[in-house]
Structure 1
Amino acid sequence: MKRETGILLLLIASLIIVCGSSRAGEPLKFSGGEFSTVLKKAELFHNDSIHVLNFKYADRKRGFKPYIAPTVLIAGGTALHFSDSKYQFNDWVQDNFHYEGGADDYLRFAPLAAVYSLNAIGIKGENNFGNLTAISLKSFILNDLLVYSLKKAVNEERPNGGQHSFPSGHTSVVFAFAQIMHHEYGEQSIWYSVGAYSCAATVGLMRIAKGAHWASDVLAGAGIGMLSTELVYLTHQYKWDWEHIKHFDIFPFSVGQQKGLTLVYNF
């Protein structure tokens, strides 16, 4: 019954399109052969497309699983933020692994640099260059908005006396990019994911050893970074390829003293 209903709806849609295409005042001419063609196309569309229409990308079929780790990290970091244990842990790290270098400032970008390097040498990930770049930019921007909004709202003092400690921005960025590596190459080999997350964890530990953050900041930052990337992959429309870019037009405009560029997408 559902199959016949789907075909009927598609047939009605086809008829509406044909009616709308006819000139005003002219009777609609629809031969038996044309009717059969529309019916066959409707049936083929129903059989081949409807069942995958809303689930084209694997990221939308995994349910809540991708959000478990980010949720645990954010919850753990938030709980530790209100606990005296964070002071004890930071004292232990400072006593045993004190660090004063600047490598953490550069290592936070390492997972994303590795993704583009793999693309450059011909090892292709899940998405093409256009979609990968769009996802990376959106993930970075969303993560930045979340982190710095929380920094201003919480205004936690850093171990070294600075301000805006919670959550860790360096850690959130590196985990956001590590999550991109996991999405793009994780199914090809688990070692891509292991390498990216190891780099991210190293940056988090370096931030603690440097006295720039509490352990609670690092845990929450890691979760926020992973969550930002997951949300971007979930909502991304995957239209940054040549097939879709050809539908874009950019042209200048001038209205009085106002001048600029107009971006138009033809559907």
Structure 2
Amino acid sequence: MKIIYTLIILAFLNLCFTAKLMTQEIEVLDSTIIENTFWNSKSVRISTVPVLLIAAGGGSWGIRKDVRAFRNRYLPTFRYHYDDYLQYAPVATVLGLNAAGVKGKHKMGRALVSYAFSAAIMAAVVNTVKYTAKVERPDGSTRNSFPSGHTANSFMNATFLHKEYGQFQSPLYSVGAFTAATATAVGRELNNRHWISDVLAGAGIGILSTELGYVVADKIFKDHGEHIKLRNNPLPVTLHPSFLELRLGYAKGLSKDLTQRSEDLFAKSGFNFGLEGAYFFSRYIGLGGEFAFSSFPMNDDNLSFNDADVPLVSDGHYTQPMGIRYIHAGPYFSLPLPKNWFITGKLGAGTASGAQGEIILRIKENYQELFRTNELPYYRYKPQRAFSWSAGFGVQKQIKRNVGIKAFVSYFNSDNDFQMDVIDQINPDGTYAFKNVGSEKVRFDNITLGLGLTAFLW
């Protein structure tokens, strides 16, 4: 499952980012070198990637339910709504960098005019199509699914950051921007709010909206409001290394409660995704925080049931991943080394809460009419909110004036009370009633190894 989702995410990101970089490279070539043909025209260059994505949205229409079934198989109760906030991360980064004195391609006034035109175009297209097509959402809540507004907004914002800082300062800004946009698009699917066709089309609309917004602004401002390209800027390692950082890592369970509590149900590895930042009072120490979540697929290959009726009505089962999210705050540390290397550290504490998980039975075909379903939640567990803490260590390399890459290791610990329920009855309206069968405290600790993309706020 993780391999497949990783390939989907990387392919999606690679398509957007690689094509955008190709567009960037073409734009800086001398116009006298490029033959003035249709395929080399600016209209083709700015529309190729969006058209491909929108076409992919249409082409995936026939498999959208298959993709949703894949999601329902492994993450049916995924409810981490980071996508509601992450969609704004690229535009917040542009505003934050500008406020911190980091120059982008254009002065802020011109950049905001470009953004305003982009947002107006995106909103008009998305809402017109939404309320004309009237496609039902996967969760059945409304009929305004196609295209995804969150995804269109996130890719519009990502292209904004790409054009202002990725083309002017470093391509790594573009990497971070499109990574955040891709994570937003994936979140819309995992939260069962959109089909794959919705997010692909939304991505294309978002990118094209920003490109058109800049075309309009360029016509208005022409050569006014542009910054001169900065070259060979000194790296200000003597300044306070305040930062924002996006990270992704491999999480390994440590406690016996998590990995060896039972021979037939346990979790050993998963992934961690988070956003953190800190304000430094000096070169060495600052105060910051992080918001992150971890997900651990459960190994239930040898799980057996005490209820003798289970094998009679079911021909298999699966267990939803164990997920936990947390928010921490505390001191951050940085030790500058020669050649723009840093040793970093952090210590944080806060609160952690878990996502409800279920053990789900696959009902045999001859019993599906009786139960009115082909999958039945048999056992449910819910970790309660608890105090948690974390500590981390990293080795960081500053590769541009405002960009760094970090390899890190972090430790997380919380002791959560798990409430456990078993199905008691199926109500006439098709809902389920559960009865409590007890609770127990589970030590949820793990170590994460991963990489972070850092934006310094010098």
Larger helix proportion, structure 1 or 2? 1
Partner residue in 1 for 2:96: 117
Q: Distance in 1 between matches of 2:223 and 2:150?
A: 28
Partner residue in 2 for 1:184: 164
Give yes or no for contact 2:116–2:213 (8 Å, CA) kept in 1. no
Q: CA deviation at 1:110?
A: 0.7
Q: CA deviation at 1:101?
A: 2.5
Q: Distance in 2 between matches of 1:209 and 1:147?
A: 21
Quick one: which amino acid aligns to residue 185 of structure 2?
Answer: G
Q: CA deviation at 1:127?
A: 0.9
Quick one: which amino acid aligns to residue 205 of structure 1?
Answer: V
Partner residue in 2 for 1:259: none
Give yes or no for contact 2:53–2:200 (8 Å, CA) kept in 1. yes
Give yes or no for contact 2:152–2:204 (8 Å, CA) kept in 1. yes
Q: Distance in 1 between matches of 2:125 and 2:199?
A: 14
Among 47, 52, 65, the residue aligned to 2:45:
65
Q: CA deviation at 1:95?
A: 2.5
Is the alpha carbon distance of 1:79 and 1:159 closer, same or farther for their aligned partners in structure 2, counting shifts above 3 Å?
same
Q: Secondary structure at the match of 1:228?
A: helix
Is the alpha carbon distance of 1:97 and 1:111 closer, same or farther for their aligned partners in structure 2, counting shifts above 3 Å?
farther
Residues 26-55 of structure 1, C-alpha deviation per residue, up to 9 Å, x if partnerless? xxxxxxxxxxxxxxxxxxxxxxxxx9xxxx
Partner residue in 1 for 2:54: 74
Partner residue in 1 for 2:133: 154
Q: Distance in 2 between matches of 1:206 and 1:226?
A: 18
Among 62, 75, 87, the residue aligned to 2:65:
87
Quick one: which amino acid aligns to residue 94 of structure 1?
Answer: N
Quick one: which amino acid aligns to residue 104 of structure 2?
Answer: G
Quick one: which amino acid aligns to residue 68 of structure 2?
Answer: N
Q: CA deviation at 1:133?
A: 1.3
Partner residue in 1 for 2:145: 165
Q: Distance in 1 between matches of 2:43 and 2:149?
A: 28
Q: How many pairs does the alignment contain?
A: 183
Partner residue in 2 for 1:175: 155
Give yes or no for contact 2:117–2:216 (8 Å, CA) kept in 1. no
Give yes or no for contact 1:131–1:240 (8 Å, CA) kept in 2. no
Moved more, 129-138 or 177-186: 129-138
Q: Distance in 2 between matches of 1:118 and 1:95?
A: 41
Partner residue in 2 for 1:223: 204
Return the TM-score normalized by structure 2. 0.38
Which entry has the higher C-alpha Rg, 1 or 2?
1
Residues 171-196 of structure 1, C-alpha deviation per residue, up to 9 Å, x if partnerless? 00000010001111112211100100
Q: CA deviation at 1:72?
A: 0.2
Is the alpha carbon distance of 1:195 and 1:151 closer, same or farther for their aligned partners in structure 2, counting shifts above 3 Å?
same
Q: Distance in 1 between matches of 2:42 and 2:170?
A: 19
Q: Distance in 1 between matches of 2:72 and 2:181?
A: 19
Alignment identity in percent?
A: 37
Q: Distance in 1 between matches of 2:108 and 2:185?
A: 28
Q: CA deviation at 1:159?
A: 0.4
Quick one: which amino acid aligns to residue 207 of structure 1?
Answer: R
CA-atom RMSD in angstroms: 2.2
Q: CA deviation at 1:163?
A: 1.4
Q: Distance in 1 between matches of 2:205 and 2:135?
A: 17
Q: Higher RCO, 1 or 2 (CA under 8 Å, sep at least 6)?
A: 1
Residues 65-113 of structure 1, C-alpha deviation per residue, up to 9 Å, x if partnerless? 22211110011102222x1x11111111232244213221111111000
Partner residue in 1 for 2:113: 134
Q: Secondary structure at the match of 1:64?
A: helix
Q: Distance in 2 between matches of 1:96 and 1:240?
A: 52
Moved more, 170-179 or 231-240: 231-240
Q: Distance in 1 between matches of 2:222 and 2:81?
A: 38
Stretches of 4+ aligned residues off by more than 3 angstroms: 60-63, 239-242
Return the TM-score normalized by structure 1. 0.64
Q: CA deviation at 1:238?
A: 2.3
Give yes or no for contact 2:81–2:187 (8 Å, CA) kept in 1. no
Q: Distance in 1 between matches of 2:49 and 2:153?
A: 16
Give structure 1 stretches of 5+ with no counterpart. Answer: 1-50, 52-59, 243-267
Q: Distance in 1 between matches of 2:170 and 2:47?
A: 21
Q: Secondary structure at the match of 1:159?
A: coil
